[in-house]
Amino acid sequence: MPLPDRLVYLDHAATTPVLDEVVDVVTRTMQQVGNASSLHTPGRAARRVVEESRERIAEALGVRPSEVLFTSGGTESDNIAVKGTFAARRTTDPRRDRLVVSSVEHHAVLDPVEHLVRTAGARVTWVEPDGQGRVHPQALRDALDADGGPGTVALVSVMWANNEVGTVQPVRELAELAREHGIPFHSDAVQALGQVPLDLSVVDLGVITGHKIGGPLGVGALVAGRDQSPVPLTHGGGQERKLRSGTLDTPGIAGLAEAVAHAAAEQASHARHLAALRDRLIEGALALDDGISVSGTWTPGDVTDRLPGNVHLRVADAEGDSLLYLLDAAGIACSTGSACQAGVPRPSHVLLAMGVPEREARGALRFTLGHGSEQADVDAVLAALPPALERARRAHAASRSRA
């Protein structure tokens, strides 16, 4: 099959094109030799790049430089936060064997939690969202009071914004509720950075990564309050407050700082631009009057309750995978949900937690906009959707008749 003349890339929630200025910074820094842990002149020069990058990121995120710890990305940061905090809290108080976690988390949080249940005697209390994917403070309060009360809880974890349906959580209120009981609050903010205002000082442990905001792959940060001391998962040189040993990726860190600074500076205007495209795509899809519905909360023009770049649609009587491949053949790159779960033929755990019937959840499509997205991309999707829907539904009907 010949490739389309023009690729419409609408999977920015999975990864984004690297910004030109980030490429410049990384390239320039890669040409400088030096290990940031070395004491000689090249090492001190590398250390200066790292610490200046740390300061830029801290300023953009509203935290202290000493609270920014560099990692390989969101998954590693979430693992340190969840596993390390559980181990630390359980050591100081054996009663704290419980994790309170929203059921719509990314697998970078869900899988470490399940690992602790299997191997470390952890108990987990799931906090269920409403039908729009939002975790309400009362739901968290009820979860804290359950299963032995707040004194048994080692950590609360609720993501800042959902990677699939784009719902933004009331993180400040949730974090304040956890702090009332002296419980650390962790939030995966990977999808939020650059799309909504992000002040990580309101949480105890926050997570970002570079490749969602035009930065390099393989570099991210865990923002850990100065009073947080998770048990490290790796041991070696003792870098990053002894929480993440290993030679620092100086070029990647410089690129991350450039991307974070850009995301913070351009957030408001970027959000307005994306929301306009998002609304055009949602309105156009609904206007097809072809059994399409929107997942999550949505109000035209809103840039606070839903990520401005997120469009999550459910299509009746069709399989999301079929739609994805048909759209891909038409030159449109999108997703059925989390890229980390691609290829697994099961409905989204996020949609099921929201109360979406499994039959509906299987017909999910996620379009996520980012820098470089334009009106022509939206128009291309709206033109390609009707024939893709027709073919996907024919295939779905044929498979059901054979079953």
Residue corresponding to tokens 């929203």? 102
- Residues 272-292: b if buried by 16+ CB within 10 A, e if exposed: ebbbbbbbbbbebbeeeeeeb
Q: Are strands 8-9 and 332-333 parallel, antiparallel or unpaired?
A: parallel
Is 41 exposed, middle or buried, given 0-12, 13-18 or 19+ CB atoms closer than 10 A? exposed
Residues identified as active-site: 340
Beta bridge partners of 209: 220
CA dist list (Å): 125 to 118, 216, 220, 231, 261: 15, 35, 28, 22, 36
> Are the C-beta atoms of residues 98 and 156 closer than 8 Å to each other?
no
115 alpha-carbon distance from chain centroid: 20
